[in-house]
């Protein structure tokens, strides 16, 4: 037990539950409170949904400050598990209802994206793997 957070280990892969994330981020659950026991292994943080679509290819958590319909469409296309809105942002009821229809857990935290990512990383959550930077191909 690490403070209020228990790190779960499954076949040497660390994961957190969404409930763990809520505690770490001092977050408020907006939708999907019945799915807080869902395990998450990776997270992605971006306000550019084109980057999320280009680099994310696994069910993950999206951390963002955007509260527009593009976030919901991106989440649907990638079958994401959870949306984390930072800086205390709360989307409109229409957006929250769309997220609920998709089965997404939606939470909000007053933290900045940088702080939220740092705390989740410290708790054991890792970023989505991305390809090597352009021009650094293995030879």
Domain contains 15: yes
Could you tell me which of 27, 34, 136 has the C-alpha nearest to residue 90?
Answer: 27
Question: What is the domain extent for residue 76?
Answer: 8-122
Residue 62: the pLDDT is: 96
**Phi and psi angles of residue 43, each rounded to the nearest 5 degrees, phi first:** -140, 160
Tens of pLDDT along the chain (139 residues) come to 444 555 554 444 578 999 999 999 999 999 999 999 999 999 999 998 988 888 887 788 999 999 999 999 999 999 999 999 999 999 999 999 999 999 999 999 999 999 999 999 999 898 887 665 555 555 4
Q: Is residue 139 part of a domain?
A: no
Q: What is the CATH number of the domain that holds 44?
A: 3.40.1390.20
Name the helix (H) or strand (E) containing 17: strand 13-17
138 domain residue, yes or no: no
pTM assigned to the model:
0.84
pLDDT single digits (tens) 45-85: 999 898 888 888 778 899 999 999 999 999 999 999 999 99
Report the distance separating Cα 67 and Cα 65, nearest Å: 6
- On the CB side of 32, CA atoms within 13 Å amount to 25
- β-strands 126-127, 8-10 pairing: unpaired
- As for how many domains the chain has, the answer is 1
Is there a domain that residue 24 lies in?
A: yes
């Amino acid at each position: 037990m690490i403070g209020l957070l228990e790190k779960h280990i499954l076949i040497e892969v660390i994961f957190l539950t969404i409930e763990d994330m809520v505690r770490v981020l001092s977050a408020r659950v907006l939708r999907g409170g019945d799915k807080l026991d869902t395990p998450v292994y990776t997270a992605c943080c971006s306000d550019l949904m084109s980057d999320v679509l280009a680099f994310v290819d696994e069910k993950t958590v999206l951390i963002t400050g955007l509260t527009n319909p593009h976030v919901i469409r991106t989440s649907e296309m990638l079958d994401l598990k959870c949306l984390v809105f930072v800086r205390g942002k709360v989307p409109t009821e229409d957006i929250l209802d769309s997220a609920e229809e998709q089965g997404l857990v939606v939470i909000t935290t007053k933290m900045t994206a940088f702080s939220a990512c740092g705390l989740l990383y410290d708790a054991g959550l890792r970023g989505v793997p991305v390809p090597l930077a352009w021009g650094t191909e293995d030879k």
